[in-house]
Every structure is written in structure tokens, then in C-alpha cells.
Structure 1
């Protein structure tokens, strides 16, 4: 039950005779009844504090109200000073019109303050300027009223700023101050937590200057305490500032400050107090805790909520508790109930364990508490609850420590996640024997699975591998993880096989297999045939087709033929929003919906402005055109009326444009109409339901951490009351929870009689729920199709008819920001494996499709060949192997042709033996697109098998490695060093970064024809080499203060790679593929037309062309290129426009220079020059000393995105 004082502070009205500790800060409230001639018998009753009554009466009298009838007091409330314009009416009625003239504008901005506080503040500032010119003495009450408006909407930042403006006005204009009124204002804002520390300090100085030290102490003490009780933590020097006032007032400083601290301890704001406050107040707190058991108990049970993500202030707090002699109260016998923990020692410890990132002091404390905790036999609950997903987090070292000491641990009440990063990245200089070898944790069945999951996320990260070396538990867990990944090769369909390969390739090295030779033997047994068989047997995306969309594409590209595959039409793009699709070549556009062609349009693009994006809305095209990100947008029927917008080339099907009754299109948020100027167009929102009559918007309630569904006004875009469509509401059952993010309800276009996703009354719908008791998921389509699954998460959004059977395939669709269908997965009917995973660009899983599509568009798909699908449902493993054998021979023949035509224009690859084998398996197959889809997935499977065999050969533990980096834990230094240099480090966690660098060097030197390095290592190679001396100079200064030696480890390993011994010329440049496709063509010709090699964004392409050697990586913009040549000139790339090109670097074996500098830094590092040195040099160069120092230390942070390393005032001449 809240105390009366707490209710008052919250703004409540209390009964007049309520007993309060301090009546000085309250006002009595009376009911004032006003009458007005225009209102007849109606009476306006206002509840007004008596001290503000005069202003209220005057305000209403200006509006024609008569003198009020007063009843009261009827309540009491927290004191509030006279507001605006009441203050002006009471104290200066002659000039009150200036205030009244501003009331209407003031009220308008007050209403706007909640949604646009910044705009409202600017408007208030303009009003203040007007008042300052004529009636400056109104400004304090005006700004205080501004503050009250912001307090009313819980915006303490602007409220505090407004209060400061009021005090500033008093000083600037030299206004005469009524101290009683000002004190009331300070008290009012302090209780609201909106008085800054500087404002209180300035107020105290003014009071002291007035000559009454006792009053200054009394007022400032009261304000400081009330400010904290109002919700703001005390500032760092509060006790020190108050001690100065107490001393001036002739009081016993220690006694007074201890009493202040005692009162503050009751405030809920104290857990948010900075550690600086406790440092300043430490001696008074220690004396207080020694003499007051209740104060000691409050301190012991306080868990700080301050500090950073990596290191909470809770651990500094434990050190303070130790200093004050309180910490052992948490477990020792003989401690009074008031001074001890609330609840048991185990409960107290559980609260600390929930903080996260524990420090060494907690580990030491746990050891001291162990006997007591075992004696009490009350389980510790050492889990932190994630506020967003309710997942439990726990620290690996702490859990293992508790288990090793025999302390009882409660079972986790929910999904447990162990953070491996906090295990191998210990942010604690005092840590002892950490990271631990979690032997006890690995043996406990409650935690072993979570430990395996944590290892799965971190294995392959250099820092983890370094920390795990020599730890018995980690050896076993890593072995089990590796074997489980290899096991997937034999159990998964093709997407799972692909994922397992990606994991093995990215997270293992030769050293891994040397450590686990038995795992390598199993890896060599991995074959793709069984995985391909599962994919073919369960269903391919290409067994379905959307005839209207395919016809639209073929209008631009020509008829699809398996015997003469069309050239990739990069200028034909797909846009649109459900249920529409727009196919365009940048000149004309065809719009399709369902099984109909809606229309053909000529795009009216501005001259010289290429198409960026187009949407079909309400019968017209909304077109975006431009060369860069800043583009013009316009309706195609009115191209002359354009507006500026920001747009990426984000082709794909995205969002909704559902035709609305009465015109317009619903876009997921509101209805928009063709021709609307400055429209945002269609967003990516799919968070709504529509039953043909009404709309609902879905969202997330952060307070309750639950999904929500609210009725939606589609015209205004405003949400109403919470409710659900009947289709979803009917699915609610006892002990279940609707999974709204997996539910859907939307209309189908007219003319769709059958949908492979199921339909009823012109609607497509899906609903899903989770049973909180059995943890089972149940899902149903609107036509009754259903599935029940016990998987950890219901990841699919629909159930697709499986061609050739009556079973259903769960469909998982993740809509991306830039390309709407980067991931569309078909699951097996039992939902155990993913069988196909088509992406936006046609590839291995959808070679027969013109483009990838979001799952909602599957409503428009039709089965291409029912007979062929039935045959695939019964395909045998032997049939699959026959197809693979045929494809393998075709690929060998293609490789031979490439060798013969190396450097010449490549021909499109053909697969005659595979085509013949497919024809034999499916003799009546008439759909060329299905044939292409079957061929594509088989060719992809063979290429995956070849890639796996290549990795096996390169990783063979028995193979002699050409380069050996012998520096201990070298790769663990990479992320640290790159972060110090402000360079990109995402992807630098590789367990073999320096060996990868060495493989690049071998290729550039002609000792190898290929590289074994991922895209990150190749992409940063040029920077590492060209800036090696500068980086070393920078690093030795950065690392000096804390004795960091990781940079030396980094450079010792870099020297072993040979990268700094290269001689020749090096340059880097990037190519935008969309603006210049010639470079892509050059690459395709150089590698024999292997599109898969060119487009792989996780690997690099190595090739020689002319006298140059190229290392090329791919990203969303195009290509990043490092070119190396030993000749005097680079190989000309005719007709290619590069951007972001670096100055060519002459490499002349800088290894010796770097080695000498490293040796020097080990023995006698350079001394930091004196300030006089910088001043002397600066004078001669006519620069400022700071600029000279900046240059001397190696341009730290130069080129860092979003920063200006040299401020403007430093760049000015000295």
C-alpha cells in the first residue's frame, strides 16, 4: 500500500485531514463553483489550490464568469506555484493582456508537446522572445508553466530545461524575486524530479550571498532530498555540496550528512545512483551503516541498476559493501534481521546472479557463502531474464563455480541460453582462473544442451578456440558438436547439407581435424546423393508455376526453352505488392494479378533517369527514377508532378496494395489513392489482418511483452480497441497462446477458384497457437488443413499442397528489407527437414522460375505436371544416383572445355547426359521449366559435392601445409587490433586469418593457382599491407597506457605470412555492377562463365589476366578488387569505370622496416614528445600544436565513418 507522501508525489489528491510527515509542502484544495450568463443553470466547478485561487478567479473573470461560490477545503495536494497567465493577472493586471494574447498559442503548443516536443520547445522559445521584449518579468512564470506542461506528459528533460530557463530569466533581466514563490517553484519541480543539480547549487549560492546561511542550508537540503524522492538520483557531489552549506551554517557536518543519506536510502531512485556519489559519500555511509542496522540492511539489499552493458556497477557496489563492513551480513549468523538480506542468503545471491557479466568479487563471495548455502539447502536461481523474449541467460563460469562448490542450483524455468562470448571475453582485470574449464556444467544434464548450443555459435571464432585449448570439457563438447554437424550430411535434405557444409567450411581448419581425426574420417564419407533424394522426393518449387508471371517475363526475354536457355536479362526486373506483380524492362511494364494480365504501360521516365522502382496502386503506376539514392517519384499518368525521395534499387515483391471499396489501395497501414502527391508509396508492413470487411493491425506491447491486435481505421490509419478477427478468436483454447506473428488473413483476387494454400469465401488464412502445457504447436489453414508439431518454434506461415499427393508442405517465408524473398523454405510434410530453399534470383532451388516470390503469391501457382510430380514422390535413391552420375560427367566435360578456352569467351554450359537421364526418368515431361528446375538442383548438388571434396582435400590433417603460422593465439588478436584501428572487423573472427593471408600471398607470388581465404580476409588484404607501417606506429601509442601486447602478436604473425615481403605494385578499386556490367562480363570470360563463382558473397575469386593478378570479393554494390602486378603498369580494364580507387602502392619489401620497428617497440618504445616540442614544430609550420600532435601520432581515427577527426577550430591557421 503506497504511503500518503508517495501518493502526493505522484500528483494525487488526498483527504484534508490526512496525516503527513511534512505539511509545509502541501496546499489545501477547494471546490470553486463559477456561473456564466451564457451557461444558464449549468455550473463550472474547478478544484483549485487555495494559494492559486486568486489567479484562477481573475482568469475566469476575463472570460465573463462571476465570483465563485467556494466550498472547502475538500482535499490537499502537492504544492504548486502560480502558473501562467495567472501570475501575470495577479501581480501585474495592467499588462496582463500580453500574457492573455499568448494563451491560445501556448495551449496549441502544449497539445503538440507530446508528439513533437522539439517543435513545441522551439515555439515556446519564440513566445518567450515576444514576452521578453515587453514584459520580461512574466518570463519566470511563463517558463515554469512550460515546464509543467512537459511534466504532465512525463518529459522530464524538457521540463528541467524550462525550469532552468525561468531561473536564467531572473538573472539575465535582474528581476526582483519573491523568495517564497521561488521556493515553492523549486519544491514543485524538485518533487517532479525536474531540477538539475546545477540549478540547486546556483540557488544555494544565491541564498548564501543573501546572508542567511541557516536558511540556505535548510532550503537546499530540503530541495536536494525531495528531488531524489521525486525520482532523480542524487548527483555525484551532493553530499560534498551539502557539507559546505552545513559547515557555513555552523552545524555538525557528519551528523547532518548521515541524516541526509539515511533519508535518501528510502528513495526508489537510489539503485540508479552513480558510483561517483557513493565514492564521495563513502565515509558518511560507513559511519551510518555501523550505527544503523536498518540503513545497513537497505544498503545490502540495494542492487544498482547503473553501469554499462559489459560491466554492471553491481560489482563496484559489492566492493563498497565490503569497505563499509556490510557484505558478509548477507550470509553470516548473528546478524540482525534489519541488517541482513531480505529473504534467505540464496535469494539475495540470486538477485546478484541475475545482473550478468559477474566480476571476480562475486566469485570470491560465493566461496565464502558456500557452507551457509549448502547448510540452508535453498537453491540459488542464477539466471538473468531477458526483458524482450523472456529467455534465461546465465554465465558459464558462475554456473560451473556454483556446481563445483556443491551449492544447490534451481532448475531453469524457461529456455536457457549460455553466453559463450562472455566466457572467452572476460572483461575483468581481477579475474582468477577464468575462463574456467566447465567440467561440472558439461556433466549436468540441465545445462549440457545449452552448453552445446553456445559452442555451436562460437566455434571457429579465434578467441574461443584459443580459450578452449587444453580444457577437457570444451574438448568433449567441441568433439560432440563437430560430430553432430557431420551427422547432418546423412540426415538432411539438400538445404541442410548445404548448411552443414557452410558451417564446416567456415568454422574448421586443418588444426581442427588434427585435433579430431576420427571426425575427419566421417567427413570423408559425406555424400550428397541421399540429401538430393530427400529434396526430390518431398517437393521442388519448380513443380509449381505462375503462368501469368511467366508470360509477362517471356514477353521481354523470349520464350523459355530447355534446349536454348535464354541469356540472363539483367534489365528485366520484378516489382509489386500483393496481389500485383509488375514486370518491366525499364521502358514498358506489364502488371499481373492472379491469373490475369491487368494491363501494359509505357513508363514516362525523365530523360537520362533510369528506373529505380515501380508500384501498381489504384490503377496507376507510382514510379521512382534516378541515378543515385536521391530520386524523383511521380505517378505515371502525371510525370510532370514529381517529388524527391530516397530509394534503393530494391526490386522484388514487397508489401500490400489491396484494392479497397470506394477506390484506393490498402498498403498495410492505410488506404492511398492514385495521384496523391508526396505519397510514401507502399511500405514493407504485413502486420495486419483483413476479413473482407474490417482491418486489424498487429503489434507488440512492450509492457506486457505480448503480441497485440487492434482494430484499424484504413482511411485514417489509426488504431482502435483491441480485438481479433473471428477466424483467429475461434482458435483460442484453454492453456494456449495465439502466435499472431505466424497468423494471416487476407483476400484473394476475384477469379481464383483454387489455391494451393487453401481458400474459403475468397480469403486465405492461417492460424497458429502454442499449448503452454505440452509445448505443442497447432496450426490450421482457413479451409481446415492442419498440422501439429512439437518443434521448438513454429517457423512456417502456410501449408502448401504437395504435388502428386494429398499431403501438405509447411512453407516458411522471411520477407527481407531490400529483396522481398531472400528466403522461402519448403519443409517436409512432417516438418522435420527443410527440403528446398528458393531465393529471389533463380538458382539451385528455383531454376525454372522467372524470379523468387513471397509465400503469399503461392495462391496464384499451379502444378506444372501432376504425372511428373507423382513420379518424383516415389523416386528411388538409385534413380537419384543415376542422375548425379550423368551430371558429374557433364560437368567434367564442361571443365575440359574451360581449360581449352581459358581467357576466351565462355559458352553457356550444356548438360546433354543429364537432360537425357531426366527424360528417361520422366519420359512424358513436357514442362521445360520443371525440367530446368530438376536439372538445376542436380547440378547444384554436384557442385556442392565438389566444393566439399575440395575442402576435405585442403583440410586433410595429413597434408603438408605450405605455410605455418607459429605465433601463439595470433588469430585471437585480429578483432582487437582492427577495432583499435577503427577498421571493419565483422568477419575477422576466422580461426585462420593469418594462414588465409598467407594463401593470398602464395597466389600473388605464383606459388598457387587458387586461394583459401573468405571474402573478409581478401577484402582487407590491401589495407593491411599498404598501411602496415602507419598502423604499427598508431598501435604502439594506443596500446601503451594499458600495457596491451596483442598488437605485437598481430604483427609477429603478419610478418610470417610473407605479405610484407611482396615486391610489385598494388592497387584497390571497386566496381558498381549495375552502372557498369562490363567488368562482370570480363570476370565471367576469365573463369569460364561460372556464375556461381562470381556471385558467391562468402568467398573470393582469384584470377590472372594479362600481367595482373586479381583478388575479387562481392557485395551488394558490386565488386571490390585488389590488383597486383610486378610489371610497371597495371593491366588495362577497357571500358570499365572504377570508383573509390586507391593510389597505386609500390611494394618494395617493407618486411625489414616493420621488423625493425617491432623489435624497437619491444626493447625501447618511442618516447612521447613534450608539449614544447609540438609547439616549436607548429610555429615553424604555422599550424596549431594540436594538428602537429595529430600528425605525429599517425592520424588516429582518420577516415572513421561519421566522425571529424580534426575539429574546425583546429584546422584554422595558428
Structure 2
């Protein structure tokens, strides 16, 4: 297990130390054997990826401890793993149509799932990386979908219950314009912070604003998953007196349960305390007790009840076919356990022994590294499939193939709540929290039955059809690997093979399920590329193009880690070492060369005088930001020449400053500026142009684009350095200036260079205590 965790420390030094020690090398070999056995047993793509990621940290040393391991990994039958994944069941077989409709209303998209816009382009949409532009607020069993305070839509179990356009337009951005929403008895509460106080209104009376009082939220961006429950007589409770439509005071939020007859509230924090009955109409507490359904579960299992892992909620209209099961009056789960054993039960009578790897007894991060496990329930899918739903930490959800031995190798999907489904749920616009999975229903029963019958041969056809075929030759993100004996480029974003799925699996007719299957196929393509990277070196060299040349400038004490340690640390923070690299010095050197005025006679194709010329250069990607250091050159120079600075640190600073001072700097606000340039970004076609290394020239002006700064609201921004000897600057080509500041070193760069040269020749400046005494005397 300790060996597996080494993937979080990829510097390469620990692997060398381990393989050099015979005892450690033998332990590593045993661990590799165990991982290979697990890889052969994998039932899901997510499990296989987890194992391959763990093995990747040791890829270069595998041949020393297990000579055949790399070839065995490279020969992984990914098509068979894909087939097992789809036969076991995928999350996209279930959907919430009302939520998809609400997301489309709020996000302004034409497609019912905003995350699917742009699929089929050469780069995957942002949704496949988990990015969403909407936010969710609970109003169980409904969810309030909103974005930036402009518009909100309430998705109920069966339909959109309300759409509301805010009467107060946002005046600020981000958390500064945070909105609070609530949904009670068909009305929406909308509140915002104004002059340090919460001001709100109800949607049925938008002109009647009031100051919100009571238990006001401190951090809207931090949610603890606590639910509010609607009451049969109207109002909504959070563990105290109910909030009713038109109310102006909020009550504190406590965990609450209900079974359709009684209500319970949890008193205490951090897992301590007890459940007590309470009257939701008045908030009056009763004695300590538990819902009868929980206590009656002793008839099905003799283990002690664990109330902290249970949930009891009243069944709501539209949830009768919940995939998690119901007895017709309530939904939820009971968990009974003792050290080493745990059992989960659902209201419809299903009982399952929980896998040992979930390690419910531990309060420390376990197998997946994402925190203790919270079992949620058994998802019932069309065609007889069943998945075990588990939550880890606050937001990570996992699904396992049920009915097996419950091993980690049975993991078939992972996703994060309040985010898009990613490759494991590409057809899901936003993943909801576990209590809202009761609103899900099958999308395409015929398509689900087709997945249950999928053969390994059909999965292999899907994989072959989805494998990338054409790529631009100037794709700077391209890295070559060998897949199935063919040289192919590996990029982070390939085609989502929706059309291929439609052609090879015509029984899958729902577009969102089709997209979900395509996401798993793309996942398999990337997994095949990851496995192929383990192919033994001799064959890989024979079939692949030559690797990029290694950067030649690699001075001792000039690596990124040392620079990061000197320039990016703050008290209480630790700097990760990462892989050894010299990207900072090399990028600064490349940029300095490009910022020098272009020499020579204009060649063919040179634009006419007064026009901008554009050229692309390879400046590499700097792993550590360095542009901000341009304003700190004097103090860095002082440290570099001081006798109190350790010799290795002085050398690192000398190397860094030696490159920075090659830039066209001036002591005052002169001819160099840091500028963020922006251009429109088409969110419907997320294939952004990569401008890193692009050089724009006109006359004496030179602009070098370093990297993408940000992307928001249809705008893409680039960080650049611009040199204009006249100091006048202006618009750069077709790009618009977002913000800029002139570089001012406050000291003559020539003087700083002279100090560094003097220290290199004569040693660091000695400490002169008489200078301090003279300063003290001169200033009184």
C-alpha cells in the first residue's frame, strides 16, 4: 500500500532507492505481482485506470524487479474491460429529465444537457473535465438550479416547478454577489448581501423586499449536505420551526429525518450526539429515539446499528420508482456493522454485505485516497443489473458492480457531485447528491438491455472505431504512443465517439445514454494509450517517432523545485518537488531571445509595413510562474550577493537572475509590460486555439504569449510580455487588452548585473556591522 501511494511523489528518486536495495526491490516485486493480478480481475475501467496510475510511477524500474511486467501491462485487453463495464451498468442509464430541462433553461442551451454541447469536435467539452457553469441549492426533493443570480429554475421529481428571473441584477462577480435561494410551498426565496446585510424577497411578491433575519448562512460556498424536509401542512423544516412562504426569519440547519409519520432531529456535532423526536410545527424536542424502520432492521441483521450511516426520508410524489428502492412510504438505508463486518439494507427489503475494502471502521483516507466510505444503497438498473453506490468524503461518488465479491477491482465509475459527469457519466449535465438519486429513472430500457448483452467482440469494435485517426501535425500537446501495433498520438482530448456508438449499437436510442456509452468508450481509448506506454522500450522506439529533444540547459541548482522553493513559498505551506525539470530557466531564455528586435531582411510572405506578423515558436511550458519576479529583482539580487544566504541558494538565485536580466528591462516604467490579452471564445465549439509561444511583431513592438491565463463567459485570456522601446504600446493585433502593468525594476538592470558579476568573482558581500551602527546614528 505504501508503494502504491508513491505515485503522489513522482520525482524518480524514491524509485531508484527502492530498486537499489534488495529487500525493498523484493517488496516492490510482490506489490507489482499483486497489482497485475488485480488488473487481470478488473471489472471496470475506473478500477483499471486506478491500478495503471499506481504502476506508472514505477514504469521505468519495472524491468528490474519483474522483467515481463511491462509487456503484460501493455497487452491489457481493454476491450474486455470496456465490455464488463457496460454489462455491469453505467450511471447514464438513469436520468432526471426535469433537472436536465432546468439546466437548459438556466444555462441558455438548446440541448437538454448543457454538458453535451460541442461534442464531436477535436477537443472534449469542458463537461468531460467536470466543469459546469451552474450551481445547485437543495429543496428536497427538488433542486434549485441557478447561475450567477440571473435566473433560477426549480426541478422537482417529475417536472420543472418554477422559473424565476431575478429582479435585482448582479452588481458584483463571484462570491461577492452570492445569492441565497429557498423553495417553500411553490414560492422561491431570493436573497443577496447588500451593505453587509441580507436582503430578500419572495417570487410571488418581488416588490416586497425585507431584511432576512435568524440563522443566516456564513459560507454559501460550503455545503454540508443537510436537507430540509417539506411538511404536509405547508412549510419546510430544517430541524426547528418551519419556514413558510412569506417568512423573513431562517432557523438553524440540523440533520433531519422523517418517515411520513414522525420527524427526528440530530443534536450534536461531528458524529456525536443523538437523534430525538421533534414537532416540526413548533420545533419542540421530545425524547431520544430512532425511526421504527431502523430499529426493526434487527430482524434482518443481528449486527449493531450505526445511526450515523443511516438515512430515513419520506417518500415524495414522483419517487415511487426510485432506483434505490422504497416500501411505498419512505426511502433511505440502514447500516449495521461491527469491526470487520458491515451490512446495508434498503426499504424494499434488499440486504447486501458491504465489501471489506470500504473500511467503514477507519476514519482515515482509505483505498481511493478520498476519505472514509459512506454506503448509499443499491442502484437497480434495467436488465437486472445492480450497482452499489458509495460516497467518499464530501463530494466523490463511486459505483461498484454488485453481486460479486465487492473488491476494489469492481469499481466501474467515479464522479463528483455538483459537477459534470466526466467520462464516467458523459451524458449527465450535473451529478446530484445521493438523496436526489431517488428522482432518477431509466432513460432507455431497450438500450440498457442491449448493454447487458454486449459481447467482448462488440466492445472491441467500438474501441477500434473510436480510436483517433487524424490529427494536426502542429498539435503541440501531441505525444506518441503505440496502440495495437500502430503509432498514434496521445492527447488529453480526443473525439467523443457518439456517432460510432449510434452506428454500432443502434438499440441505444436515447441521446444522453448514447453519449454516456461514448464517454466510456473514450475512457477505454485513453486507458489503452496509458497501458501501451508500458510497452518495452526497444519496440516502442521501433514503432514510434523520435521523442522530443531534451532541453540542453540543465545547470546544477537551477531546477524548477529550487526556484519554486525560493520564490513561491509562504509560511505554513509545503512546496511539492515533482519531477526534476528546468522549465523556468529555459522558458525565460527562449522568451528573452524572442523579445529582441527581429534582425535581417524581411523574407517572403512578410506582411506590409504597419501590419502585424505572427509566428509560432516552441517556448515550452514553465512549471512555476516567473513573470511576477520581474518586480522583485532588487531584493532577489540582494539575497544573491549576501553572505548570510547559503551558497546553494546564492547559486540558484544567480542562475535565475542571469536569465531574467537578459530581458529588455528598464529601471523606470519603460518599454516592457506584462499584459493579459483576450479574445472571444465559442463555448459551443470548445476547441480553443493554443497561442503559447506565439510571437506578434509590428515595427519595434514584439509580443510573446506565454500561456493561457483564464477562460470565462465566452472569453479566453492569454498572459504575454510585450516590448515596445517607445513605451507607447497599444492594441496587440486582433487581441484586446484585458489588463496590463509596466515592468519597473526600481534599479538599473546594469547595476544589478554588475553586482552579480562582482559577487561571482570576489565572493558574497561581507557583513559590515559598522554600516548598521552608522545608519542608526545617522537616523537618530
TM-score (norm 1): 0.47
Structure 2 match to 1:580: 142
What are the within-5 Å matches in structure 2 for residues 1078-1089 of structure 1? 1081=681, 1089=686
State whether residues 240 and 251 of structure 2, in contact with CA within 8 Å, keep that contact through their aligned partners in structure 1.
no
How far has the Cα of 1:811 moved from its partner? 1.0
Unaligned stretches of 5+ in structure 1? 1-448, 817-821, 900-908, 1072-1077, 1095-1100, 1180-1214
Pick one of 341, 355, 358 that aligns with 1:776: 341
CA gap of 1:641–1:1002, structure 2 versus 1, over 3 A, is: same
Alignment correspondent of 2:774: 1173
| 86, 92, 108: which one aligns with 1:536 | 86
- Residue 460 of structure 1 contacts residue 508 of structure 1 at CA under 8 Å; is this kept in 2? no
After superposition, what is the alpha-carbon deviation per residue over 1:1125-1170, rounded to whole angstroms, capped at 9, x for unaligned? 466558738786746x654368979996685477479655444565
Q: Say if 2:598 is the partner of 1:1021.
A: no
2:550 aligned to which of 961, 964, 967? 961
CA distance in structure 2 between the aligned counterparts of 1:1157 and 1:514, rounded to whole angstroms:
50
- Matched with 2:257 is 689
SS in 2 for 1:784: coil
Return closer, same or farther for 1:1164/1:852 CA change in 2, 3 Å cut-off. Answer: same
User: CA–CA distance in 1 between the matches of 2:632 and 2:664?
Assistant: 15
Q: Tell me, what secondary structure is at the counterpart of 1:766?
A: strand
Cα-to-partner distance string for 1:394-420 (whole Å, 9 max, x where unaligned): xxxxxxxxxxxxxxxxxxxxxxxxxxx
Instruction: Pick from 777, 781, 786 the counterpart of residue 351 of structure 2.
Output: 786
Equivalent in 790, 799, 808 of residue 377 of structure 2: 799
Inter-partner Cα distance in structure 1 for 2:73 and 2:731: 42
Q: CA deviation at 1:857?
A: 1.5
> 1:880/1:1025 Cα in 2 relative to 1: closer, same or farther (>3 Å)?
farther
Partners of 1:1161 and 1:498 lie apart in 2 by 56
Q: In structure 1, how many angstroms separate the alpha carbons of the residues matched to 2:100 and 2:10?
A: 43
Please give the residue correspondences for 1:969-1008 in structure 2 after superposition, counting only pairs within 5 Å. Answer: 977=566, 982=570, 985=573, 988-992=575-579, 994-998=581-585, 1000-1001=587-588, 1004=591
CA contact (8 A) 2:448 2:508 kept: no
Equivalent residue in structure 2 for 1:834, among 411, 414, 438: 411
Output the TM-score relative to the length of structure 2: 0.70
The answer to whether 1:937 aligns with 2:502 is no
Q: Cα gap change, 1:1122/1:529 in structure 2, threshold over 3 Å: closer, same or farther?
A: farther
Per the alignment, in what secondary structure is the counterpart of residue 533 of structure 1? Answer: helix
Highest CA radius of gyration, 1 or 2?
1
Q: Is the partner of 2:513 in helix, strand or coil? A: helix
- Change in Cα spacing, 1:470 to 1:886, as seen in structure 2 (3 Å) is closer
* Contact kept in structure 2, 1:574 and 1:651, CA below 8 Å: no
The match for 1:621 among 188, 194, 203 is: 188
1:376-387 equivalences under 5 Å are none
Q: Equivalents in 2 of 1:527, 1:919: separation in Å? A: 23
Distance (whole Å) between structure 2 residues aligned to residue 999 and residue 523 of structure 1:
35
Distance 2:278 2:89 in 1: 39
- Residue in 1 aligned with 2:706? 1110
Aligned to 2:317: 750
Q: Distance in 2 between matches of 1:524 and 1:1148?
A: 54
Q: Output aligned runs, 1:1049-1088, within 5 Å.
A: 1050-1051=652-653, 1081=681
Alignment: residue pair count: 676
Q: Which moved more, 1:1000-1009 or 1:576-585?
A: 1000-1009
1:663 shift after superposition: 2.8
Paired position in structure 2 for 1:1047: 649
Aligned partners of 2:257, 2:29: CA distance in 1, in Å?
A: 47
Q: Offset of 1:779 from its aligned partner?
A: 0.9
Change in 2 beyond 3 A, CA 1:502/1:628: farther
CA distance in 2, matches of 1:802, 1:677: 42
Change (3 A) 1:896 1:551: farther
> Displacement of 1:622 after TM fit?
1.8
Q: Deviations over 1:931-950 (max 9, x none)?
A: 12222332344356557778
- Partner Cα distance (1:452, 1:1012) in 2: 30
Secondary structure of 1:838 counterpart:
strand
1:658 to partner: Cα distance: 1.6
Structure 1 residue 898: Cα displacement: 8.3
Structure 1 stretch 670-679 or stretch 657-666: which is displaced more?
670-679
Change (3 A) 1:508 1:781: same
Taking the TM superposition and a 5 Å limit, the aligned residue runs for 1:441-460 are: 451-452=2-3, 456=6, 459-460=9-10
1:1033 matched to 2:596? The reply is no
Shift of 1:854: 1.2
Q: Residue 694 of structure 1: CA displacement?
A: 3.2
Out of 715, 718, 725, which is 2:291 matched to? 725
Deviations 1:351-410 (A, max 9, x none): xxxxxxxxxxxxxxxxxxxxxxxxxxxxxxxxxxxxxxxxxxxxxxxxxxxxxxxxxxxx
Partner of 2:235: 664
In 2, are the aligned partners of 1:617 and 1:657 still within 8 Å (CA)? no
- Give the drift of 1:864: 1.4
> 1:596 and 1:1063 mapped to 2: Cα distance?
62
Q: Is the 8 A contact 2:681 2:716 kept in 1?
A: no
Tell me how far 1:497 sits from its aligned partner.
4.3
Q: CA deviation at 1:886?
A: 1.8
Provide the C-alpha distance between the structure 2 equivalents of 1:1023 and 1:514, rounded to a whole number of angstroms. 43
Q: 1:842 & 1:805 partners in 2: Cα distance? A: 23
- Which secondary structure does the structure 1 equivalent of 2:467 belong to? helix
Contact 1:578 1:653 in 2 (8 A): no
C-alpha spacing 1:541/1:954, structure 2 compared with 1 (3 Å): farther
Gaps of 5+ in 2: 361-372, 477-492, 595-615, 666-670, 697-702
1:995–1:545 distance in 2 versus 1, CA, 3 Å: same
Going from structure 1 to structure 2, the CA distance change for 1:1070 and 1:724 (only over 3 Å counts) comes to farther
Going from structure 1 to structure 2, the CA distance change for 1:619 and 1:878 (only over 3 Å counts) comes to same
| 3-state secondary structure, aligned to 1:604 | coil
Contact 2:641 2:756 in 1 (8 A): no
Partner of 2:384, secondary structure, is coil
Which residue is 2:45 aligned to? Answer: 494
Asked whether 1:547 is paired with 2:97, we answer yes
More off after superposition, 735-744 vs 467-476: 467-476
SS at match of 1:548: helix
Give 1:360's aligned residue: none
Task: Tell me, in whole angstroms, the C-alpha distance in 2 between the residues paired with 1:1176 and 1:621.
Answer: 70
Structure 1 residue 590: deviation in Å?
Answer: 3.4
Q: CA RMSD in A?
A: 5.3
Pick the aligned partner of 2:167 from 604, 607, 611.
Answer: 604
- The alpha-carbon deviation at position 967 of structure 1 amounts to 3.3
**Hey, what's the Cα distance between the residues in 1 that align with 2:55 and 2:462?**
26
Encode CA deviations 1:11-48: one digit per residue, 9 max, x unaligned.
xxxxxxxxxxxxxxxxxxxxxxxxxxxxxxxxxxxxxx
Corresponding position of 1:675:
246
Task: Tell me how far apart the structure 2 counterparts of residues 525 and 1055 of structure 1 sit (CA, whole Å).
Answer: 48
Question: For the Cα contact (< 8 Å) 1:828–1:834, is it kept in 2?
Answer: yes
The alpha-carbon deviation at position 763 of structure 1 amounts to 0.8
**Mean Cα displacement is larger for which, 1165-1174 or 472-481?**
472-481
